[in-house]
Amino acid sequence: MNPLNKIIFLSAFLASGFLLILLSCALFNNYKPLWVIFIFLIAPLPNLIANSIENARDYNFLTFNDYNNQSNSQFNQSPLQEFCKFLTGLLIISGISLPLTFYHCGLIQFGSMLMSIIGGLIVYGDIIIFIWFFSNEEEENDEFNF
């Protein structure tokens, strides 16, 4: 798939997520679900930061961990990566549970809750797909020395 087509598709997908969240606020005249945008936008950041730190780390004779040289690297990750995965999961659950809590307390209506949860998951999914699309392209090009 052409990178320009990927960007156009992902921007339309992201705009639909933002539209759902903004409509959940505007239609019901209550702007408390806007916190969902902030939570889902910062949710992938801990994983990105941890992966960039681990990839930039110099494994020389002074480091005694052997995280990247194990046979199955999915289960052998550094404590920083594990903590950041936990933090990302905590943010995702918070982004889903915040509208549920607002609805339970009577601060927002059911439609607003539903639209903000779906919109937030679309925004988070779009960010993850964007990272996945463009990180795979870099790996493919690295094999052929482009």
Q: Are 94 and 116 in contact, with CB atoms under 8 Å apart?
A: no
Mean pLDDT of the chain: 84
Which residue bears the tokens 């998951």? 121
pLDDT in tens, 56-93: 776 655 555 555 555 555 566 888 999 999 999 999 99
Compute how many other C-beta atoms are within 10 angstroms of the C-beta atom of residue 116.
32
pLDDT in tens, 16-38: 999 999 999 999 999 999 999 99
pLDDT in tens, 84-122: 999 999 999 999 999 999 999 999 999 999 999 999 999
53: pLDDT strictly greater than 90 = no
